[in-house]
């Protein structure tokens, strides 16, 4: 039976859950958003292994704390992200404040003040300097701890991030660090593009100074493949595009494809980009099973991700299915 | 003092108001959405005359009922919309259900079944037929009632819509009709593009049969100009683009420009379109006062309009500033 | 047989025609653009009646001269556009220069200098004033000439535009005016939204002063319906969205739908807007025949329209099928 | 002196160079495209070191041959791209045809036929299999050749790609391979995300089997930093977004920023993504010098890249500044 469009009505004290429930019969992207929320609920109820991918601008934003929270609550099993996510998560744990600014800021003036803009958010040079001081200390600790086998201290990227998560918490006691929560909750974080950004540059400097230290980027492939298997149900929540999205769906392809998929993106399919590649296109590859529950929602992730997740959290809480709920 | 990005955290039973409050320090469009909500609150608190513009696809969606509700609650003083908004509002009052469908529907199959697609919503041919039967009856009643002056029965478009609002309610008792609520609450609805769509075609047929009947499209300009004045504060909420947006801002220009402006749109400025024209661009015209509080939020209106309005409604309700609250 | 992607190679002195020919095996929107060009060629070779729709920002741009040229060359039979197209075409014939500016201009400074921005183009206040002076003179002449029947001087919008085309050329001798070329080549220009913009405002003032003058907006529907018929082949080239696009496809629907359709737009279908409505969606309505050759190309019209048209012009010229070629 | 918008007129046999010259006074993105072409011309005339970045979907398209051509003609000094670019370039050299298909293809049917869709292009499973067979052979040859130092055979990613370029040409004699032309013309190709895609997976398998083989992803940072220096002029042409764009601008930042920058993209800045990050935003970082000539053009790269480059090639050819012109 087809759903019929219903007149949306506000009621006093309206919750996010009620609004998204009503969105199912409102229109256009509100319908897709409702459907995406239902797919994530099914993903969890079916006991699927859940992959979450996001780009680093999500960590620049306040979603960083939300990612930490949903990891703590047991919503996610595997994360794939880009290199700047790691460095910015650490900056924030170190107490560096990112400021709200404007898309039409005077960028030359910002540059003169040592402020770097990401959309309508700015990050100060000082925040990078603080990160650089700390990452050297953390890398030294990780280096010391890493076993030397046949003259080489080898560490997978995902293990490096795990260690960083442990160290940043010991240092700062920040519960909102997503790399700390993934460490604590045993959720591997993959970052195939770790060589990019400030963290990539500092890894490079450190490796130059420590020729026996070997951060294994390519070999980490094994770990994402073994993070799920052919037989278990698998779900994917992909925020934005980029290498994070592709690495996750490629690993899914190697394990028979995903059963439940939600893409939140601003990119359209018209230019053949990964960011805009639809769930429908992914079916041609076997990245998504032909009978998968798959939804794409177009729009800004800082709005749409809380909207799709909150109703799932409310429902799972009522059903006693949330972990570590304090 | 600059606002600092804060980690977004879900709390159990989270309301829309709380979430949008927190969005102010989350990122990208969530910040803009928060700001837009604050601008609308100031618009109302300042006693501004509020113009709302929307395209007909918003009426196709369930926002139709929400528009009726906010008119009833005294949030809006002037509306500008496109022709299909009128016909689809009437269809819905007549009980015609619009169905949720899919953006990737089989359109040839839909055509064979007599179903017409608007994004992921379909409208059946029968709904148009019911509208066509009724509109003739309504036009006859309006014709009868219109005074004959010097051999001509002249009616402004905004007066015609007012009469239709009255008639559709007498016929259907549907409180969710936005043209009924505008009639009842004395909110003029302007529709400079009334000549388009099914309603335009049926007006044309009716006028052919009644050569003394004259629907004055051009002269209605006087009424939108006099709907506000140079001295009073004016606010504009524009959903989507098109002639509706332009007609409202042009009238604002003639009265000294708007003081508070919110645009919700999916179009970007890169192609010089009205839909994508930014609040910043409007300042060069004097359509928006240089010191206006003006925000553009990119994204789907069926998601973003409830999100910006609900916190305003909650706050005004607490402050006892909502009219006709039952 | 499927086309195979071919390596694109530049050759010295490469023509637009050759490049677009090669685009057929390049990728993404370049393929669609190639296909669109082929559909327009078939449209012309089949002897279809060709409808062209565009929004006024296209007239703001230099495409205005290109529209005049293709009308002169016999490429187009019916035009639908928005009100500002008419006023800006006249301004340009009066010698008013529109300046190239920037999307990130200082809009408050522009406002102080009396410059109004449309994307990266500015129009000076003086250009509007010149238009306003002239339009009064032109309207007076048209008024004088219009027959008084039963105390009323009635003129259809499309006839008014025809008269304006004649007058502007008599006044300025500007061959690049599109309303002149449409007048000269007997191509009706429909403008259902004429009530908007400066021209709508001045029509309103003029009608107030001349109560017997009646610009028939709604009745013009008859003329666009009779501009084609059920039996002949029909083609549609729609640039951008808005009321222009919808009015044309609605008239096509009444005559059995279009056989060949090309949409050039920056809007996507995800929000249910007319601008983003695809050719595929139009099939569900019968606006496009199920077996129509229909292509949508995403991108800026100021780039894509010359690219799709030039190969058609080159080919038709070689085949001796261009009219009025000097 | 401001440029004035001019009426665009087609002339018989119009070249791409003439059209793009005229675009400078047409409008919206056509103006930006003209400006971008001028910036690239200045980039070359100033003797700048030119960085080109692109995403792999550009290699899927026919631009792959155009990249090879402009490398051969001496237009580019450094390339940054994503992993799938390498594998698809090799597939094409091996004679695998990618087919033109449709954005609205039946993806389940494609999957059953072993065809994988990227927008409106499909790649067959067989093409991947052929690649997989060959890459093992090529990697073996590279392994044999790589010096064993202290028990380790280490190779930088950019050197690996150079060797692959040499091997693929020896094997296939395909002059249109971009990795061959970069090898031949001594243009380093960086690929910080090499761990992704089929090539990343096969590198992983090969490394597992050859524990002494070490593909250095992180250390390649040194090579991109030394590929330019602080004192020389530097230019950047960035097609699409992703890690390729970011890695290049980060290296530019370390060397004092770029002097000339052109971004071609479909992404807007509204969501804070790298893909949508504007040249203006990059100034706040010092990634682009404050006085840089910098232009962003919105639209599909398969259309816009030939359009911006061809006028540059024509001009440089006339001035005798093209290398290796046969």
Q: Is B47 exposed, middle or buried (0-12, 13-18, 19+ CB in 10 A)?
A: exposed
Q: Which one of A29, A119, A280 has the shortest CB-CB distance to B104? A: A280
Q: Which one of C29, C104, C272 has the shortest CB-CB distance to A270? A: C29
* Residue C268 to residue A27, Cβ atoms within 8 A: no
* Residue A196 to residue D105, Cβ atoms within 8 A: no
* Residue C208 to residue B214, Cβ atoms within 8 A: no
**Which pLDDT score is estimated for C60?**
97
Min distance A23 CA to chain C CA atoms (Å): 14
* Residue B116 to residue C285, Cβ atoms within 8 A: yes
Which residues in chain B are closer than 8 Å to A6, comparing Cβ atoms?
62, 65
pLDDT value at A205 more than 90? yes
Min distance C127 CA to chain B CA atoms (Å): 13
Assess whether C173 carries a catalytic annotation: no
Min distance C121 CA to chain B CA atoms (Å): 8
Return the beta strands (E) in A27-125 as ranges: 49-54, 78-81, 99-100, 115-118, 121-124
Closest among D114, B197, D4, A60 to C65, alpha carbons compared: D4
User: Cα A212 to chain center, whole Å?
Assistant: 31
Which residues in chain B are closer than 8 Å to A317, comparing Cβ atoms?
12
pLDDT value at D140 more than 60? yes
In this prediction, residue A324 has a pLDDT band, given cuts at 50, 70 and 90, of confident
Q: Running DSSP on this structure, what letter comes out for residue D4? A: B
pLDDT value at A154 more than 60? yes
Q: Which one of D22, D69, D298 has the shortest CB-CB distance to C300? A: D298
Instruction: Centre a 10 Å sphere on the Cβ of residue C130 and count the other Cβ atoms it contains.
Output: 16
Measured between alpha carbons, how far is B228 from B235 in angstroms, rounded to an integer?
A: 10
CA distances from C111 to B268, B284, B288, C106, C114 (A): 21, 4, 10, 9, 5
* Residue A28 to residue B66, Cβ atoms within 8 A: no
**Best residue in B271, B276, B304 to probe D by mutation, most D CBs within 10 Å?**
B271
> Mean pLDDT of all residues in chain C?
95
pLDDT tens, D91-126? 999 999 999 999 988 889 999 999 999 999 999 999
pLDDT tens, D38-67? 999 999 999 999 999 999 999 999 999 999
Q: Chain C residue closest to B300 (CA)?
A: C271
- With the C-alpha atoms ordered B51, B56, B58, B59, is the resulting torsion angle positive or negative? positive
Q: Please name the residue that has the structure tokens 């009706």.
A: C188
* Residue B27 to residue A307, Cβ atoms within 8 A: no
Least confident of A281-295, B149-163, D136-150: A281-295
In this prediction, residue A325 has a pLDDT band, given cuts at 50, 70 and 90, of low
* Residue A247 to residue D221, Cβ atoms within 8 A: no
- Residue D111 · residue A286 · CB < 8 Å: yes
Q: Which one of A2, A62, A314 has the shortest CB-CB distance to B8? A: A62
**Which pLDDT score is estimated for B326?**
57
Min distance C122 CA to chain B CA atoms (Å): 9
> Mean pLDDT of all residues in chain B?
95
* Residue C107 to residue B283, Cβ atoms within 8 A: yes
* Catalytic option among D184, D245, D287, D289: D287
pLDDT tens, B231-279? 999 999 999 988 999 999 999 989 999 999 999 999 898 888 877 788 8
* Catalytic option among A287, A289, A325, A326: A287
**Which pLDDT score is estimated for C259?**
94
In this prediction, residue A159 has a pLDDT band, given cuts at 50, 70 and 90, of very high
Measured between alpha carbons, how far is C130 from B277 in angstroms, rounded to an integer?
A: 24
Which residues in chain C are closer than 8 Å to A271, comparing Cβ atoms?
28-29
**Which pLDDT score is estimated for B150?**
86
Q: Running DSSP on this structure, what letter comes out for residue B280? A: H
Token pair of D99 as six digits: 């087919």
Q: What is the mean pLDDT of residues A264-293?
A: 84
* Residue D272 to residue A222, Cβ atoms within 8 A: no
Instruction: Centre a 10 Å sphere on the Cβ of residue C134 and count the other Cβ atoms it contains.
Output: 21
pLDDT tens, C139-176? 999 999 999 998 899 999 999 999 999 999 999 999 99
In this prediction, residue A2 has a pLDDT band, given cuts at 50, 70 and 90, of confident
Work out the angle at residue C283's Cα, subtended by the Cα atoms of residues B96 and B129, and round it to the nearest 5 degrees.
30
Number of residues that this document lists for chain A: 326
Question: What is the β-pairing status of strands C258-265 and C234-239?
Answer: parallel
pLDDT tens, B198-237? 999 999 999 999 999 999 999 999 999 999 999 999 999 9
Measured between alpha carbons, how far is A249 from A298 in angstroms, rounded to an integer?
A: 19
Measured between alpha carbons, how far is A153 from B189 in angstroms, rounded to an integer?
A: 73
Q: Which one of B12, B27, B98 has the shortest CB-CB distance to A5? A: B98
pLDDT tens, A44-84? 999 999 999 999 999 999 999 999 999 999 999 999 999 99
Residue C135 DSSP SS3: helix
pLDDT value at B81 more than 60? yes
**Which pLDDT score is estimated for B325?**
65
Interface partners of chain C (CB pairs < 8 Å, 3 or more) are A, B, D
Token pair of A196 as six digits: 């990019």
**Which pLDDT score is estimated for B1?**
63
* Residue C273 to residue B281, Cβ atoms within 8 A: no
Q: What is the DSSP string of D208-246?
A: HH-TTEEEESSTTHHHHHHTS-SSS-EEEEEES-HHHHH
Measured between alpha carbons, how far is B297 from A75 in angstroms, rounded to an integer?
A: 30
Measured between alpha carbons, how far is A284 from D117 in angstroms, rounded to an integer?
A: 6
> Mean pLDDT of all residues in chain A?
95
Token pair of C292 as six digits: 């129509």
- Residue C22 · residue C15 · CB < 8 Å: no
Alpha helices in chain C (DSSP H): 16-23, 28-45, 56-60, 63-72, 83-93, 107-112, 125-145, 157-172, 178-184, 197-209, 221-226, 242-254, 279-285, 301-318
Residue A109 DSSP SS3: helix
Residue B321 DSSP SS3: coil
State residue C281 phi and psi, 5-degree precision.
-60, -40
Q: Please name the residue that has the structure tokens 């010229």.
A: C317
* Catalytic option among C162, C245, C287, C289: C287
ipTM value for the complex: 0.96
CA distances from C96 to B272, B286, C135, C299 (A): 19, 20, 15, 28
Catalytic residues of B: 287
Closest among B259, B263, B322, B311 to B286, alpha carbons compared: B259
List domains and CATH numbers for chain C: 32-96+137-196+214-318 (3.40.910.10)
pLDDT value at D326 more than 70? no
- Residue B67 · residue B75 · CB < 8 Å: no
**Which pLDDT score is estimated for C326?**
57
Q: What is the mean pLDDT of residues A249-258?
A: 92
Residue B228 DSSP SS3: coil
State residue A320 phi and psi, 5-degree precision.
70, 25
* Residue B271 to residue D104, Cβ atoms within 8 A: no
What global pTM score does this model have? Answer: 0.96
Closest among D51, D65, D67, D60 to D85, alpha carbons compared: D60
**Which pLDDT score is estimated for D193?**
97
Q: Which one of D33, D64, D99 has the shortest CB-CB distance to C2? A: D99
pLDDT tens, D282-311? 888 888 887 779 999 999 999 999 999 999
Q: What is the biggest distance separating any 2 CA atoms in chain D, rounded to whole angstroms?
A: 69
Would residue D95 be called left, alpha or beta, if left means φ above 0 and alpha means ψ between -120 and 50 degrees? left
Least confident of B30-34, C286-290, D249-253: C286-290
Residue C178 DSSP SS3: helix
**Best residue in A30, A104, A271, A273 to probe C by mutation, most C CBs within 10 Å?**
A271
In this prediction, residue A285 has a pLDDT band, given cuts at 50, 70 and 90, of confident
Which residues in chain C are closer than 8 Å to A28, comparing Cβ atoms?
270-272
């Amino acid at each position: 039976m087809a759903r019929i469009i219903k007149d949306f009505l506000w009621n006093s004290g309206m919750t996010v859950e009620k609004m998204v429930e009503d969105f199912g019969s409102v229109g256009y992207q509100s319908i897709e958003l409702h459907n995406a929320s239902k797919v994530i609920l099914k993903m969890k109820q079916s006991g699927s292994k859940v992959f979450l991918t996001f780009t680093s601008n999500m960590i620049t934003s306040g979603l960083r704390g939300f990612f930490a929270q949903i990891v703590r609550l047991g919503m996610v099993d595997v994360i794939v992200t880009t290199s700047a996510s790691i460095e910015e998560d650490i900056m924030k744990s170190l107490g560096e404040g990112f400021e709200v600014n404007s898309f039409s800021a005077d960028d030359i003036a910002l540059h003169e003040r040592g402020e770097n803009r990401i959309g309508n958010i700015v990050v100060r040079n000082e925040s990078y300097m603080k990160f650089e001081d700390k990452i050297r200390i953390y890398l030294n600790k990780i280096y010391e701890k890493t076993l030397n086998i046949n003259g080489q201290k080898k560490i997978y990227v995902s293990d490096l991030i795990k260690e960083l998560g442990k160290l940043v918490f010991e240092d700062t006691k920040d519960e909102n660090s997503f790399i700390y929560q993934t460490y604590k909750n045993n959720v591997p974080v993959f970052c195939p593009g770790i060589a990019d950004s400030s963290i990539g540059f500092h890894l490079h400097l450190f490796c130059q100074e420590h020729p026996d230290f070997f951060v294994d980027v390519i070999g980490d492939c094994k770990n994402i493949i073994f993070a799920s298997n052919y037989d278990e149900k698998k779900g994917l929540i992909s925020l934005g595009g980029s290498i994070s999205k592709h690495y996750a769906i490629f690993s899914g392809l190697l394990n028979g494809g995903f059963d439940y998929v939600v893409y939140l993106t601003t990119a359209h399919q018209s230019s053949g980009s990964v960011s805009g590649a639809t769930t429908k296109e992914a079916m041609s590859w076997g990245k998504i099973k032909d009978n998968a529950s798959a939804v794409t929602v177009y729009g800004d992730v800082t709005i749409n991700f809380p909207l799709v997740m909150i109703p799932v959290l409310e429902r799972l809480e009522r059903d006693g299915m949330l972990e570590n709920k304090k």
